[in-house]
Structure 1
Amino acid sequence: MMRTERRTRCARRPSPRRRGVARGMSLIELLVSLTITSLLLTATMVAVNASFAAYASAARQASTQTATRMVTHRLLHLIRTSTAHGPLVPDALVEPPVTLAGNTITSNFMELFDVNGEIIRVEFRVDDQELWLISNPGEEDEVAQPLISGVTNCQFFCSRRLDDDGVWVLDRGTMDLTVQPSDDTTLDIEDGFPDPIRMIASTMPRKVG
């Protein structure tokens, strides 16, 4: 009886299942996975680099625009508060020449007397692509300093008129300034260079006859 019961239990005991053998990745699958991973990493690096470079380029252009505005406001303040201005007559001996059209003088520099009685000359140096401010030019105490770099063009327009004594005086001064931001941060995938910043400003002196 006991033998029969043992046989029955043994018959009911489930037979062990055969476990499947784990199969590894083939060489082709491994190469495909590595290729996809490298492509994703490359795309991520390009996107991150483009993002940082674009931010740096935008920051550079914003900085240049701020500097251009500050220089423009400073020069307009000098024109408004000065007492005498030049050039007000054409001059073909300077380079580039000072020209006259109607009653407007065009030149790449402007001179004036400031509130302290000092001669101030603002000139565009084409070769250096810089705008310079010179105090007491040609004197022993001459002081020269650059105002802004990256200047591709700068012209001064002096609209003149005759005062009560028959002397030419400045009626309105206008400055046309173009500054090119540095292209150091320009992306290789971008076309050309950052857009130049052009600023045209005009004002009238307060202390002329």
Structure 2
Amino acid sequence: YTTTLRLGFVSDTQDIWGSVSATGCALPSLNEIKEALARFKGEILQTPPMMSALKHQGARLYELARQGIEVERSPRPVTVYSLELTDYDDSTGEVTLDCHCSKGTYIRTLCADLGELLGCGGVMTSLRRTMASGFAIGECITMEKAEELYKSGDFERFIKPIDTVFTCYGEITVSQAQAVRFKNGGALSLDRLKSRVDGITRVYAPDGGFLGLGKPENHQLAVLKLF
């Protein structure tokens, strides 16, 4: 993600679209911000915001928040792999950050927690997702562009093979007989595979065709998903 936040303000939604008020506190220096950011790297505990889709006794938190109801939320572990400051305007208190984080991380909460740690408050003012599942925003096209390419017959070159979504997993090529069995939903003996399998794995036929995903289970490579 790339996000901007404004120091010196607080909000009931932790972002600029809620009820915002100025704290009147002095803005921190660049070095103070950098030192504070170091506290948010790695595995941290984060309390989910009320304006979220998490449920409490069957009701979404944001539904309760809109009724003026606030409930206690337990902090949850999330991982911030990297958090870099790319710009700071000390005249306005606007900070720009690049963040690579785990699923379940709330960026606006990160902004609010940073502002709280700095003693001046902070609200998120913009958020842009720059990468997801290994795909960078530079590889994306708009729906309008996609429609234009489809009509012109030039759409195929923008379509990526389905297995590119799963490059985070290992891979294995099986024999033709094993490929037929796997494609029909049958599990493969781990002892008869050419290489070791650790965790979820991409499974390929001898001709390079992507069969699907497998998972070790009871000394076998069981079918997780076929394509």
TM-score of the two chains, using structure 2 as the length reference: 0.19
The structure number with the bigger radius of gyration is 1
More helix by share: 1
TM-score of the two chains, using structure 1 as the length reference: 0.20
